[in-house]
């Protein structure tokens, strides 16, 4: 064996001997302090890199999908309509558009009619309101005229009564005017009857009606206590309304 071959074998043997001197060969896959070989660590690192790349790619893909979905949601209706039209038969789309236009025209016509009717109703309402106000004014004027005519007619009748009184008073001093005065009184009663005026003259012993009788004083009387003893001045009522209550005296004592 040559010297060069001996040196080579010696170097190879030294490399194969454990540096610690135990004679065990040093393996290329020597374990670390944790018991994991270098080859295992390298494989794990490669797997982590690969996994990280895949996760990042998946995240980017998910972000892209979200952006696409948001873009689709934000897409204006015009795009959807355009897609729908592209899928439809042009003749059918044209017919539908024509039908929609006809519907719009009909609605516009209906709206115009409603506005016309509204304007007509407002005009009629204003006219009716004005007519009602004029009617109220005419009625008020008519009632005033009726009151005036009624007063005029009453005064005319009373003038006749006054003329008869004047004729009675113009008689001679020794003339008996009682009959004439009585006739004038009857004539006045007729005038009052014509105006639906009726006297209020309760009979003695009648119950006192505070709405129609005015008590002047309590007096001794043969009538039951608390009833009308006598009429001092008659009252008058017109069409059920008391114009003047009758003044009466009332029998003394507590009514039973």
What are the tokens at 256? 């039973």
Per-residue DSSP letter, 170? T
Q: How confident is the model at residue 132 (pLDDT cuts 50, 70, 90)?
A: very high
Q: How far is CA 202 from CA 60, 150, 221, 241, 248, in A?
A: 116, 29, 15, 16, 8
Asked if residue 168 has pLDDT above 70, the reply is: yes
Q: How confident is the model at residue 44 (pLDDT cuts 50, 70, 90)?
A: low
Domain ranges (residues) in the chain: 80-195, 198-251
Q: What pLDDT, on the 0 to 100 scale, is given for residue 149?
A: 82
Q: How far is CA 236 from CA 162, 197, 214, in A?
A: 20, 7, 12
Asked if residue 170 has pLDDT above 60, the reply is: yes
Mean pLDDT check: name the lowest of 130-139, 157-166, 207-216, 231-240. 157-166
Asked if residue 62 has pLDDT above 50, the reply is: no
What's the rounded mean pLDDT across residues 149-165?
83
172 versus 234: the higher-pLDDT residue is 234
The string over 83-113, giving b where at least 16 C-beta atoms fall within 10 Å of a residue's C-beta and e elsewhere, is eeeeeeeeeeeeeeeeeeeeeeeeeeeeeee
80 versus 58: the higher-pLDDT residue is 80
Asked if residue 75 has pLDDT above 60, the reply is: no
Distance CA 48, CA 55 (A): 10
Q: What pLDDT, on the 0 to 100 scale, is given for residue 246?
A: 94
pTM of the full structure: 0.43
What's the rounded mean pLDDT across residues 49-74?
49
**Are the beta carbons of 18 and 24 closer than 8 angstroms?**
yes
Average pLDDT score over the chain: 75
Q: Tens digit of pLDDT for each residue in 18-39?
A: 444 444 444 434 444 444 444 5
What's the rounded mean pLDDT across residues 140-153?
85
Q: What pLDDT, on the 0 to 100 scale, is given for residue 47?
A: 53
Q: What pLDDT, on the 0 to 100 scale, is given for residue 251?
A: 93
Q: Which fold has domain 198-251?
A: Nucleotide Exchange Factor Grpe; Chain A, domain 2 (2.30.22)
Mean pLDDT check: name the lowest of 6-15, 42-51, 118-127. 6-15
What number of residues does the chain have? 256
Q: What pLDDT, on the 0 to 100 scale, is given for residue 211?
A: 94
Q: Tens digit of pLDDT for each residue in 202-251?
A: 999 999 999 999 999 999 989 999 999 999 999 999 888 999 999 999 99
């Amino acid at each position: 064996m040559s010297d060069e071959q001996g040196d080579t074998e010696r170097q190879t043997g030294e490399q194969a001997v454990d540096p610690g001197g135990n004679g065990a060969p040093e393996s290329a896959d020597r374990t670390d302090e944790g018991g994991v070989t270098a080859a295992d660590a390298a494989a794990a690192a490669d797997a982590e890199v690969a996994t990280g790349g895949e996760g990042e790619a998946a995240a980017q893909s998910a972000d892209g999908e979200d952006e696409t979905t948001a873009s689709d949601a934000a897409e204006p209706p015009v795009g959807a309509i355009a897609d729908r039209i592209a899928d439809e038969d042009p003749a059918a789309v044209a017919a539908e558009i024509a039908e929609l236009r006809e519907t719009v025209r009909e609605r516009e016509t209906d709206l115009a009619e409603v506005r016309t009717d509204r304007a007509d109703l407002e005009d009629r309402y204003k006219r009716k309101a004005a007519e009602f106000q004029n009617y109220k004014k005419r009625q008020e004027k008519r009632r005033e005229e009726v009151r005036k005519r009624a007063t005029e007619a009453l005064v005319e009748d009373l003038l006749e009564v006054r003329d008869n009184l004047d004729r009675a008073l113009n008689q001679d001093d020794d003339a008996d005017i009682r009959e004439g005065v009585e006739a004038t009184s009857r004539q006045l009663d007729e005038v009052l009857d014509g105006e639906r005026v009726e006297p209020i003259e309760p009979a003695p012993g009648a119950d006192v009606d505070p709405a129609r009788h005015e008590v002047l004083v309590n007096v001794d009387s043969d009538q039951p206590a608390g009833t009308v003893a006598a009429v001092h001045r008659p009252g008058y009522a017109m069409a059920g309304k008391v114009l003047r209550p009758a003044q009466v005296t009332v029998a003394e004592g507590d009514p039973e």
